[in-house]
Homo-oligomer: A and B are copies of this chain.
Amino acid sequence: MTDAPAYPGQPLSEVLTPALIVDLDALDHNLARMARLAKEAGVRLRPHGKMHKSADLARLQMAHGAVGLCCQKVSEAEAFARAGVTDLLVTNEVRGAARIARLTALAATGAHVGVCVDDPANVPELSSAITAAGATLDVYVERDIGQGRCGVTSTADVVTLARAIDAAPGLSFAGLQAYHGNAQHLPTHAERSAAIDAALPLVAEAVSALRDICLPPPQVTGAGSGTFPAEAASGLYTELQCGSYAVLDVDYARLLDANDSRYDATWRHAVFVLTEVMSVTRPGLAVLDAGHKAHAIDSGLPVIADRPDLRVTGASDEHTTVDDPASTLAVGDRLRLIPGHCDPTFNLHDWIVACRGDTVAELWPVTARGCQW
């Protein structure tokens, strides 16, 4: 782990760049807003920890009423549990004896652990391991509702799996995992709505079939920051898994625009990569000290906060180039980049510099950074 790039009380102007900064006022706003929206809709919130990978940020979410955290990897769940966040749903399948042994060992420590299945062969694997560990595991059936990735593809398979889970020693049938990842990033509200509207009948059919066999799903969990109002209003979902709402990024800001009444723009950017101009050798072009090892570009280039006159033109490993038509920038000038995609950006950093205004308030380790398996 690298040295911390800052210390509490330090002026932001002195923090070594590039650094990942979180604006605590904006974060508080977003956390409070989502907590209110979930409460108004009568659904639980279990934010996705794969986004920020930070136990400190997770604790703030739980203080705002989140019931626990989602994560995507067993090693992430271990890292969160070590840091004191112990109600964890792995929204993913866990296969292989070694990984399953770590998952069940975690449950045996007293953590409340959930996991998804999409294959009948996985049920006895989980059951034997958790029984040997002397603990219990919440198990969700993952139903694919349009993502086309993991998850079973028919109601019959949902029923088969739920029955197998219910009958298996040590496993508790906890409900349905139904997340439509692709829908989150469709460009317009109408397209996102249509995708969820097409998915809801699949969820309704699964819920109905489970009720028919006297296994009503205790939870129906899913949804992301791009579509959650639809799931929350569906009368089917009981739990939201949104992650990006906490900090926003370029991609979500583009989607959740002011013309979109249900997905309005009162979320605030809370995560930035603080960067410094390091070279200006020709008019109109500035080079920043942060490249795509500091801000993830898988969903596009970053945008420079508060400077509509500047435009990012490219990013290489350690540099970002900026079109500065009026040649306003000089070496040492500092800018805040809004990352194209928040999740993999957090994963590039060891530390989150949490700020109030222009002062460093806290240093948070990125608890589950780099957790691969």
The listed residue (B95, B279, B282, B316) touching A278 by CB distance below 8 A is B95
> What B residues does A212 contact at CB under 8 A?
none
Give Cα A292 to B298, complex, Å. Answer: 8
**Cβ proximity bits A267-289 to B, threshold 8 Å, 1 near / 0 not:** 00000000010111110010101
Q: Check A144–B373 contact: CB distance below 8 A.
A: no
Minimum Cβ distance to chain B for residue A139 (Å): 15
List the B residue with the shortest CB-CB distance to A98: B16
Partner of A95, one of B98, B331, B370: B331
* Partner-contacting stretch, out of A199-207, A228-236, A340-348: A340-348
Q: Return chain B residues, CB-CB under 8 Å to A282.
A: 148, 153
- A296: nearest chain-B partner, CB-CB: B292
List 26 A-B pairs, Cβ < 8 Å.
Answer: A2-B75, A2-B79, A2-B371, A5-B372, A50-B318, A73-B318, A93-B278, A95-B278, A95-B289, A95-B331, A118-B281, A119-B279, A122-B331, A149-B287, A149-B319, A150-B279, A150-B287, A150-B319, A181-B316, A289-B373, A290-B372, A293-B343, A293-B347, A294-B372, A347-B348, A369-B370
When distances are taken between beta carbons in the complex, the residues of chain B under 8 Å from A370 are 1-2, 348-350, 369
Residues of B within 8 A of A317 (CB): 50, 72, 343-344
| Nearest chain B CB to A108 CB, angstrom units | 18
Within 8 A of B (CB), among A75-103: 75, 79, 92-93, 95-96, 98-99
Q: Is A17 an interface residue (CB 8 A)?
A: yes
Whole-angstrom distance from the CB of A54 to the nearest CB of chain B?
A: 15
Find chain B residues with CB under 8 A from A122 CB.
331
A19: chain B residues at CB < 8 Å are: 372-373
Evaluate contact between A332 and B95: CB separation under 8 angstroms: yes
Q: With A95-B332, A149-B279, A294-B372 given, can you name 6 additional A-B contacts, CB distance below 8 Å? A: A5-B372, A16-B372, A73-B318, A93-B279, A148-B321, A349-B372
Q: At the interface, yes or no: A18 with Cβ under 8 Å from chain B?
A: yes
By secondary structure, the A interface counts as loop
Contact pick for A2, options B153, B289, B372, CB 8 Å? B372
Identity of the chain B residue whose Cβ is nearest the Cβ of A19 in the assembled complex: B372
- Which residues of A122-152 are within 8 A (CB) of B? 122, 144, 148-152
A183 at the interface (CB under 8 A from B): no
* Interchain CB contact (< 8 A) of A72 among B280, B287, B318: B318
Q: Decide yes or no: A285 and B372 within 8 Å by CB, A332-B96, A344-B292 being known contacts.
A: no
| Closest Cβ neighbor of A292 among chain B residues | B298
Would you call B344 and A279 a contact (CB within 8 A)? no
Is the C-beta of A121 less than 8 angstroms from some C-beta in chain B?
yes
Q: Within A329-373, which residues are at the interface with B (CB < 8 Å)?
A: 331-332, 343-344, 347-350, 369-373
Would you give the shortest CB distance from A125 to chain B, in whole angstroms? 10
Q: Does A31 contact B (CB under 8 A)?
A: no
Shortest CB-to-CB span from A76 to chain B, Å, is 9
Cβ-based interface call for A14 (8 A): yes
